[in-house]
Amino acid sequence: MSDPRIHPLSSHLANQVAAGEVIERPASVLKELVENCIDAQATHIQVTVEQAGNKKIAVQDNGIGIHPDDLVLAASRHATSKLSDSEQLQQLSSLGFRGEALSSIAAVSQLTITSRQNQQEYGWQYSNDTRPTPCQHPIGTTVMVQDLFFNVPARRRFLRSDKTELQHITTTLHRLMLSQFDIAFTCQLGNHQRISLPIATNQAEKQQRIVKLCGRTFIKQSLYIEQQYQHYHLTGWLANHEGHRPNTDIQFFFINGRIIRDKVIQHAIRQAYFPFLPEGRHAAYILFLTMPFDALDINVHPTKHEARFHQPRLIHALIHRAIDEALSPAIAVSTANDKDSNNDVQTPLTNPPSVKDSYSIDKQQTIPTTILDGHPIYQANNQTIPSSKQQYYQPIHQLLHHRFALINDDTPQLIDLYPLNRCLIVSRFKQAISNNALSTRPILVPITIDIDTEHAKTLETYQAQLSSLGFAYRYNAHQSTMTITQIPSLLAPYALKSLASELINHHQHLDCADNFITHFITALPQPPIRGLEQANQLWQDSQQLQLDNLHQAWWQELDIERLSALFTQNDKSSHHHSPSSNT
């Protein structure tokens, strides 16, 4: 270091340093340019890429264009038309706002901007360090980037092969195309790959775009969801229980039209998908969340892929519930068909992810009812299993269909975990009522269902009983709806819509709390068992609560002699019907 004195960086060097944060590779350039087109209210964007973006990236739009007096300023650092005061920074609606992209690109490439606004007869063109000159150009803007990183050889050496860089470009384009159904795209990637997508205005056209970008299989194995809560609106497509994938190539989450990678969102999705994702497989989804601009902070990272939420728990709860409700029918169908299924023993599942793995939570705060951070289906009993029980009851070694457990012992035993869990919930619920120790949880994102006047009046007469059982609700007579606002903590893992429906269906049992609890819990679709650890906990807790008198409902010994006789009978039958036996 020849001169240890502090001195300001030159403008050109400062821009090259800044470019390192914004422009990582050719795909980064493409992202910034296309986002500028979107902010310019374009309805058609054309992209041309040569040599994986190293030689040329050109993006043309039919947007509002750039005033000729602003062309030089557009390529200057911290210059933008999208932000003028600090108040706007708190509720950003544009994709870009930093004023860094074009200046960063200009610092590491040969940049040319050509633009024409609606009221102008001709366009104007600007290149690095030159004066704008008039030219022929349609309304809109064309930005051409040539010889990327020509003056930063160290960065160019870190680029991967053309095939890899082109794959990054394709992935970036897919994200942008999925985020803006109201924009047509025409893309030429090299000499062979061409993508042409018209504007998609209705559901069928949107699905057709998804088919072109993600494949027909995804649409065939996907569900469309829509969830509304106050000013938060979640829509999109997610793979059903058969649509899991070996990689994460179809995982797109957009907030206000911007692709976002966030730990809170990722955890909510993983948590909702966990019950039926085989180990090593991944969920697939294309989801869109629209929310108030002032309820999130995008000014976190130069790439603007990260965000901070003012209410992360609300976001988590909304996403988790929407996915859980959409997938629950698929799980229920799978459960109902267990008896007819020919699938072999399921491989053990890994433990469900924990919220703490994704984002920190203040220990003094409580997690709302719809955020399930790996808690078991019930509150675990802290008592230890008597030694005699520990010696006799072996741990569960295998799950079948996520429901049946097989215990290897001198006498093999088969356990149906769903009725076992139901017995445990009923027992704990009744104990809590008897001991006046029932805990409740408010619903962060309340569930609303339709209810007729007759049922509403009936529930109103049982309002005191419902309150003593831990339920609270609001009735809207004008809209004929009921909104559940509080539930017993024991029932947190159950689908909220099922809870609300069964409350109405079993109101006739509310005169007797014990009777209601039994009928109500029995009617609820059971939450899926989340792996061997939870199955073992269920089994251990059944011993602690001494549910032996209920064994007939969920526990059976496997009679080895009867099993042997069954196979012997099958063997004789096969010999009887074989060709040799008929000769």
Q: Are residues 518 and 401 in the same domain?
A: yes
Q: Are residues 281 and 192 in the same domain?
A: no
Is residue 116 domain-resident? Answer: yes
Q: Are residues 99 and 239 in the same domain?
A: no
What's the pLDDT tens digit per position in 310-352? 899 899 999 998 998 888 754 443 333 343 333 333 333 333 3
Q: Are residues 63 and 190 in the same domain?
A: yes
DSSP 8-state secondary structure symbol assigned to residue 558: -
Q: Are residues 442 and 309 in the same domain?
A: no
Helices (H), 469-544: 496-505, 513-523, 532-544
- Domain closes at, from 338, 356, 376: 338
| Distance from C-alpha of 233 to C-alpha of 524, rounded to nearest angstrom | 28
With b meaning 16 or more CB within 10 Å and e meaning fewer, what string describes 101-127?
Answer: bbbbbbbbbbbbbbbbbeeeeebbbbb
Amino acid at 238: L
Is residue 93 domain-resident? Answer: yes
Beta-carbon-side half-sphere exposure of residue 191 (alpha carbons within 13 Å): 1
Q: Are residues 416 and 470 in the same domain?
A: yes
Q: Tell how far CA 136 is from the center of its chain.
A: 46
Is residue 401 domain-resident? Answer: yes
Q: Are residues 194 and 231 in the same domain?
A: no
pLDDT at 173: 97
pLDDT at 329: 56
pLDDT at 125: 96
Is residue 571 domain-resident? Answer: no
Q: Are residues 195 and 220 in the same domain?
A: no
pLDDT at 357: 35
Identify the CA nearest to 160 among candidates 59, 251, 53. 53
Q: Are residues 255 and 183 in the same domain?
A: no
pLDDT at 82: 55
Q: Please state the pTM of the whole predicted model.
A: 0.64
| Distance from C-alpha of 18 to C-alpha of 38, rounded to nearest angstrom | 23
| Distance from C-alpha of 527 to C-alpha of 364, rounded to nearest angstrom | 28
pLDDT at 98: 54
Sequence-ordered list of residues with C-beta below 8 angstroms from that of 146, at least 6 positions apart, any chain: 55, 56, 109, 110, 112
Q: Are residues 234 and 153 in the same domain?
A: no
Q: Residue with structure tokens 């890429």? A: 49
137's enclosing H/E stretch is: none
The count of domains in the chain is 3
Is residue 419 domain-resident? Answer: yes
292's enclosing H/E stretch is: none
DSSP 8-state secondary structure symbol assigned to residue 403: T
Is beta strand 472-476 parallel, antiparallel or unpaired with respect to 555-557?
A: unpaired
- Rounded to the nearest 10°, the torsion over CA 22, 24, 28, 29 is 80
Identify the CA nearest to 285 among candidates 328, 236, 319. 236
| Distance from C-alpha of 145 to C-alpha of 399, rounded to nearest angstrom | 57
pLDDT at 149: 92
| Distance from C-alpha of 430 to C-alpha of 514, rounded to nearest angstrom | 6
pLDDT at 300: 58
Q: Are residues 100 and 132 in the same domain?
A: yes
User: In this structure, what CATH number is given to the domain that contains residue 223?
Assistant: 3.30.230.10
Is residue 424 domain-resident? Answer: yes
User: In this structure, what CATH number is given to the domain that contains residue 147?
Assistant: 3.30.565.10
Mean pLDDT, consecutive 10-residue stretches, the chain (583 aa), reads 68 64 87 93 97 96 94 77 54 58 89 95 91 96 96 87 94 96 96 92 96 93 92 94 88 93 90 79 94 79 70 91 79 38 34 36 34 32 35 54 63 76 88 89 83 83 88 87 89 83 81 85 79 74 61 64 69 53 43
pLDDT at 126: 95
Q: Are residues 48 and 192 in the same domain?
A: yes
Is residue 263 domain-resident? Answer: yes
DSSP 8-state secondary structure symbol assigned to residue 243: -
User: In this structure, what CATH number is given to the domain that contains residue 462?
Assistant: 3.30.1370.100
Domain range for 16: 11-200
Identify the CA nearest to 292 among candidates 232, 219, 242, 349. 232
Is residue 349 domain-resident? Answer: no
